[in-house]
């Protein structure tokens, strides 16, 4: 088959580098925007902090004297369109790639603490190696989830150690005697038993708690308190005191140190909303609107090149570099301004749509709202509104809320009115909070309560909303 050459016209839609940069900046919160701006300032010397009003007017006057015929300086006039893009940038990564940095933790893990405690025990070389393998197989919660026989195979194939199951269990029991209490357990029951046995101090309540875990663990997990009381021959008050001792135990001993030393990220609101004399006033965090400008030195470098000779190869390479940096700086400044305008436009639409909530702070005043509703108001794409709502927060007189908090689906009442599902969830939550904990309300009765208030809702929908609120079934909410 012969090769042929032909011309063809084709229409296709592509995102420009400026649009890609704007989309990336839209979805980052305020704290990450600060870091992104600092990174750009370090990488691009043509970009500086400050406003255009702070420029050196003396340099501007000198340039005007030398070029009286030029009214304004336009950098685009000096751009060489013949320079290929591949000469001015590295194309070894995709434009859509996002850098994700995983921070390194300097905290000592519970496995390291266990290894240190091993040296306080009297163990031979074989037991030390078995203990090291066992500690390495513990999960984040401190449990040994692997079967002992599988560890026997690991020792045989990886370390050429022939060990019996009884030998490994002996070393495992020694590990279970270390701190934190409960590590090395193979299931929840064993973990709680290890802890309650250490707490035995002739207390009748702790003794009963130990008996519950040993004899009635299945009934305890299912909260069949009447069966436990009958089996142990105790009354309700005595059973309550014993169960309180069990509730003090840690079901995840391996994560206890990690949780206590966990660093919580501080939330910086992207918007500030206040009520002033009955009117809502919206403002954007000043960090979202930094003052950036083009470097005067780099502008003067281009002007000097325009007045001088253009034959030197070194000069052409230098001006290509300067043009590229100036172009990148202008794109970044423009993207920051567009980001600020898009954030304000979208948040202003959300504020007007949910004005009743922002005036009262009552969650039941929230209107049903989806991304499409706001996208139609601001005449933007749904994906753009989604990027604005992602990881953004607003500070109001009633607290700090994520923007996603105001989006919810609708539900029809008996009168035909459209209400937010968040309003239904709030009523459901109030009903569960005010229920008799000795006789909690099942989903059928919760459905009846909502139906009485005019919300036409099925039992399976009640169960779905209850699960979204992280609330267990009625039997698991029962207390003594």
Q: H helices within 248-295, ranges in order? A: 256-260
Say whether pLDDT at 99 is over 60. Answer: no
**Of the residues 234, 259, 284, which one is the last residue of a structural domain?**
259
Q: Does a structural domain hold residue 146?
A: yes
pLDDT in tens, 300-327: 777 776 666 555 667 677 777 778 888 8
Give the HSE-up count for residue 477: Cα atoms under 13 Å, Cβ half-sphere: 20
Contact 393, 402 (CB under 8 A): yes
Higher-confidence residue of 135 and 13: namely 135
Report residue 63's pLDDT band, with 50, 70 and 90 as the boundaries: very low
Number of domains in the chain: 2
**Of the residues 204, 237, 259, which one is the last residue of a structural domain?**
259
Report residue 268's pLDDT band, with 50, 70 and 90 as the boundaries: confident
3-state secondary structure of 284: strand
Say whether pLDDT at 266 is over 80. Answer: no
pLDDT at 64: 46
The whole domain housing 166 covers 110-259
**Of the residues 230, 259, 288, which one is the last residue of a structural domain?**
259
Residues in the chain: 480
Give the separation between CA 282 and CA 350, rounded to whole angstroms.
11
pLDDT at 173: 93
The stretch 60-70 carries a mean pLDDT of 44
What pTM did the predictor assign?
A: 0.58
**Positive or negative torsion for Cα 44, 45, 50, 56:** negative
Q: Does a structural domain hold residue 396?
A: no
pLDDT at 94: 58
The stretch 87-104 carries a mean pLDDT of 54
Mind giving me the DSSP string for 200-213? -SS-HHHHHHHHHH
What residue ranges in 232-357 does DSSP mark as E strands? 271-276, 279-284, 292-294
Give the HSE-up count for residue 125: Cα atoms under 13 Å, Cβ half-sphere: 2
Strand 399-402 and strand 393-396: the pairing is antiparallel
Q: Does a structural domain hold residue 41?
A: no
Say whether pLDDT at 255 is over 50. Answer: yes
Contact 131, 171 (CB under 8 A): yes
Q: Does a structural domain hold residue 254?
A: yes
Residue 340: CB partners within 8 Å, gap ≥ 6?
284, 288, 289
pLDDT at 71: 44
Provide the token pair at 320. 């290509």
User: Count H helices, E strands: the chain?
Assistant: 21, 8
* Residue 272 backbone dihedrals phi, psi, to 5 degrees: -125, 125
For position 455, which CATH number holds? 1.10.10.60
Q: Does a structural domain hold residue 65?
A: no
Q: Does a structural domain hold residue 361?
A: no
Higher-confidence residue of 270 and 423: namely 270
Q: Could you count the other beta carbons within 10 Å of the beta carbon of residue 394?
A: 22
Give the separation between CA 68 and CA 99, rounded to whole angstroms.
47
pLDDT at 362: 83
Q: Does a structural domain hold residue 308?
A: no
The stretch 94-111 carries a mean pLDDT of 60
Provide the token pair at 182. 């409960």
Q: Does a structural domain hold residue 441?
A: yes
């Amino acid at each position: 088959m012969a090769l042929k050459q032909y011309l063809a016209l084709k229409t296709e839609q592509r995102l420009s580098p400026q649009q890609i940069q704007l989309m990336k900046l839209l979805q980052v919160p305020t704290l990450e925007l600060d870091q992104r701006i600092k990174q750009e300032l370090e990488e691009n010397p043509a970009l500086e902090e400050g406003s255009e009003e702070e420029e050196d007017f003396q340099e501007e006057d000198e340039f005007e004297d030398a070029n009286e015929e030029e009214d304004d300086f336009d950098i685009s006039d000096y751009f060489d369109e013949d320079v290929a893009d591949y000469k001015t940038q590295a194309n070894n990564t995709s434009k859509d790639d996002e850098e994700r940095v995983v921070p390194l933790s300097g905290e000592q893990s519970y496995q390291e603490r266990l290894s240190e405690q091993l040296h306080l025990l009297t163990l031979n070389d074989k037991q030390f190696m078995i203990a090291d393998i066992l500690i390495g197989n513990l999960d984040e919660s401190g449990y040994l989830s692997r079967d002992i026989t599988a560890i026997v195979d690991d020792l045989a194939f990886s370390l050429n150690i022939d060990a019996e199951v009884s030998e490994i269990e002996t070393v495992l029991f020694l590990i279970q005697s270390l701190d934190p209490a409960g590590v090395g357990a193979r299931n929840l029951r064993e973990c709680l038993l290890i802890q309650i046995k250490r707490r035995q101090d002739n207390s009748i309540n702790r003794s009963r708690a130990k008996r519950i875990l040993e004899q009635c663990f299945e009934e305890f997990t299912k909260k069949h308190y009447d069966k436990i009381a009958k089996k142990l021959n105790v009354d309700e008050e005595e059973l309550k005191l014993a169960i309180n001792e069990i509730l003090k135990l840690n079901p995840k001993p391996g994560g206890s140190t990690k949780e206590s030393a966990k660093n919580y990220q501080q939330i910086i609101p992207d918007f500030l909303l206040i009520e002033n004399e009955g009117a809502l006033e919206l403002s954007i965090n000043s960090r979202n609107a930094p003052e950036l400008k083009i470097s005067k030195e780099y502008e003067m470098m281009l002007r000097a090149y325009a007045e001088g000779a253009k034959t030197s190869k070194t000069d052409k390479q230098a001006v290509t570099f300067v043009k590229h940096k100036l172009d990148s700086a202008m794109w970044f400044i423009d993207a920051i301004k567009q980001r600020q305008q898009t954030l304000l436009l979208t948040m202003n639409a959300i504020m007007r749509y949910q004005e009743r909530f922002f005036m009262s702070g009552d969650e039941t005043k929230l209107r049903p709202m989806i991304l499409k509703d706001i996208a139609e108001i601001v005449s933007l794409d749904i994906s753009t509104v989604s990027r604005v709502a992602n990881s953004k927060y607003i500070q109001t007189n009633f607290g700090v809320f994520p923007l996603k908090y105001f989006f919810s689906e609708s539900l029809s009442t008996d009168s035909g009115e459209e209400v937010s599902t968040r309003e239904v969830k709030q009523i459901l939550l109030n009903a569960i909070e005010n229920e008799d904990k000795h006789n909690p309300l099942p989903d059928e009765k919760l459905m009846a309560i909502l139906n009485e208030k005019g919300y036409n809702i099925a039992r399976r929908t009640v169960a779905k909303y209850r699960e979204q609120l992280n609330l267990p079934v009625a039997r698991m909410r029962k207390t003594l």
